[in-house]
A and B are shown apart, each in its own frame.
Chain A
Amino acid sequence: MRNKEEKVKGALHYYLQSTSGVVGAVLVLLMVIVAFCSIFGITPYDPVEQHVENILQGPSTHFWFGTDEFGRDVFSRTLEGMRRSLTVSISAVTFAATLGVSFGILAGYVGKWFDQLVTRISDVFFAFPAILLALAIVASLGNDWHDTALAIGVVYTPIFIRVARGPVLTVKEMDYIKISRVLGFSSIRILRKHIFPNVFAPIVVQVALSLSWAILTESGLSFLGLGTQPPTPSLGLMVSEAQPLAAFAWWTLVFPSLFITIVVVGLNLVGDGLRDALDPARRSS
């Protein structure tokens, strides 16, 4: 499809003009590569292998990020942890975005009792602090990575409902939607081809931002002992385990924290870049 290609090219062109977008993309790409290294097993050591003769070594040519209290390689563990964090947060956001956007758009378009119902339910979810709700869900589901992903997904679904519903309320009152109805377009066609593309931009931005929050939430859950279970590394878990060691083995704390920071900042910058690239009003200025 030539049309689609052109559209993508156009958006990419505007995206590349935004400094924060480019910086963010580089940071995120770096972290994705890091995660891929772990998927393909290109880590210097097995992340759970214990080198008992090398406990709590500082960074060196052998162990780039040093070793922890069991003699495990912090670098390998950080790569593995990044992979876990990304897997969980991408799954969680995919779940939240699919469910939230579908319900949000439908609620905004259909209105009446359905809108009331969906909005009230998402209000109830909003009323809980995110981490508390995720904790409760994880506690009742279990500790597998997909349970964590589901918990975070459920927590973020209401955000997507709101982000999708708001613009739909505006767009559905636009003349071009009224005319679609006047010319006998079916509701499904109006929703899919005329409303969704017009509310797409804020959703994409929300996806980028939610990914970064999801990573923080996953880290938080692991930190609290309810996400990934030891000895499997996760960034949050590593920070949690490093806490008592921080005073004399700073590397166990600093490197995983640094990676969390990089990916979260990167995703936020990507969100900014996308917002600039997808907003026609900003483009023209």
Chain B
Amino acid sequence: MNNEPLLSVFDLGIATVQDPRTLVNSVSFHINSGEAVGVVGESGSGKTLSALTILGLLPRGVEVISGEIIFGGKNLLNLNSEELRQIRGNEIAMIYQDPMTALNPVMKLGKQLLEVIASHDGINTNSENQVRDLLSEVGIPDVNRAMESYAHEFSGGMRQRIMIAMALLLSPKLLIADEPTTALDVTIQQQILALVSDARKKRNMSMLWITHDLGVVANLVNRLNVMYAGRIVESGSVEEIFRKPKHPYTAGLLSSLPTSTGTNRERLTSISGVPEKPWLVGNSCGFAARCSRAQSRCHNEIPQLVSKEENSVACFFPLGSK
């Protein structure tokens, strides 16, 4: 076990090209080899953009303005497109939110999975078996028939399993999961979570799990980064964050989760107001407008992520402090 993290993101900043609007600001986190890390945040908090930056697939009109992304000793931001392509799928793979449109409708499944191998290692006599094994590992019944079927013949849950198989096919070192369970119903969600969790442990694969649902990641990841308005506001071990959140936003998120111990008549708490646009925050804490603990300092200064005990938090008046 070396101490070098598998992936480190330093001070990542992302902004639109025209009429520059900052979307992600000084985001830093790391993933050790074999570790699962979660990124939690609301829509528009910059979590998906950060993940796409790792893969070098930022949408048009958006660019990286600062920072580095070190993966396996190389800064991914300095690689050319062919070098990045070699890494994608092979060393870093990703599963997407919506499995319904994620498979090519006119290509048979077996062929589609073989495409992944063909675009990296090249197909050999064993490739088809490799695909079969993985399909049965992710729980596809009647693999032989499935290989000859088209995407529309599968349900959403099955398609997500197929997507996972596609991503795992070349045994990547890092799997990025962008809310892969949001489009599925709750029972299927649990099955997929268990599946990914098992597959990850079996391969000692690192994982970056992006979600807006704290409940999903609780049992899945080791460490958690909470993002708000384009910045990481709290970072630490899952246990610690769930037990005593320090940032008022994290606390708000947690208290808005339904608990199994509460009476069912209890109303869920919500955070008042709407999330601030990252580029409108300016020189203040992004959460200040919605925060009950905010004081004048919060409106005039950006809190930096500082380490207190195990967890770091970006707040001037964190919870649990005097």
Q: Which residues of A contact B (CB under 8 A)?
A: 3, 111, 174-176, 178-186, 189, 193-194, 197-198, 200, 280
Contacts and interface: CB of A to CB of B under 8 A. Distances in A.
Interface string B132-172: 00000000000000000000000000000001001100000
A198 B103 CA distance: 12
A183 B119 CA distance: 9
A280 B151 CA distance: 13
A186 B119 contact: yes
B119 A176 contact: no
A176 B104 contact: yes
B276 interface: no
A86 B317 CA distance: 82
Given A3-B108, A194-B104, A182 B94 contact: yes
B57 A182 contact: yes
A184 B121 CA distance: 11
A175 B119 contact: no
Interface string B99-127: 00111111110010001101110000000
A280 B105 contact: yes
Given A179-B102, A182-B57, A184-B90, A197 B96 contact: no
The DSSP consensus for interface residues of chain A is helix
Given A179-B163, A182-B57, A185-B115, A197 B107 contact: yes
Contact of B89 (A111, A176, A184, A193): A184
Nearest to B84: A184
A67 to B, nearest CB: 54
A176 B115 contact: no
Given A182-B94, A183-B88, A189 B119 contact: yes
B108 A182 contact: no
Given A175-B101, A185-B119, A198 B93 contact: no
Nearest to A198: B106
Nearest to A3: B108
Nearest to A196: B106
Contacts of B107: 193-194, 197
Given A111-B60, A181-B88, A193-B107, 8 more contacts: A175-B98, A179-B166, A180-B104, A183-B166, A184-B86, A185-B119, A198-B106, A280-B105
A66 to B, nearest CB: 51
Interface residues of B, number: 30
A182 B92 CA distance: 9
15 contacts: A175-B101, A176-B101, A176-B102, A176-B103, A176-B105, A179-B96, A182-B55, A182-B57, A182-B93, A182-B94, A183-B116, A183-B119, A184-B87, A185-B116, A197-B106
Given A189-B118, A194-B107, A183 B101 contact: no
Contacts of A184: 85-90, 119-120
B315 to A, nearest CB: 34
A93 B104 CA distance: 29
A166 B119 CA distance: 27
B32 to A, nearest CB: 23
B74 to A, nearest CB: 15
Contacts of A182: 55, 57, 88-89, 93-94, 96
A185 B106 contact: no
Nearest to A177: B104
Contacts of B93: 182-183
Contacts of B163: 179
B57 A181 contact: yes
A198 B112 CA distance: 14
A179 B108 CA distance: 16
Contacts of A174: 101
Central interface residue in A176, A179, A186, A197, by most chain B CB within 10 Å: A179
Contacts of A194: 104, 107, 115
Given A181-B57, A189-B118, A189-B119, A198 B85 contact: no
Contacts of A200: 106
Nearest to A195: B104
A90 to B, nearest CB: 27
A3 B114 CA distance: 15
Contacts of A280: 105
B307 to A, nearest CB: 33
Central interface residue in B60, B85, B90, B108, by most chain A CB within 10 Å: B85
A200 B282 CA distance: 50
A193 B115 contact: yes
Contacts of A181: 57, 88
Contacts of B94: 179, 182-183
A174 B102 CA distance: 8
A173 B53 CA distance: 18
A280 B152 CA distance: 11
Nearest to A280: B105
Contacts of B96: 175, 178-179, 182
Nearest to A174: B101
Contacts of A186: 85, 119
A184 B170 CA distance: 11
A193 B103 CA distance: 13
Please give me the 3 A-B residue pairs with the lowest Cβ-Cβ distance, nearest first: A184-B89, A184-B88, A183-B89
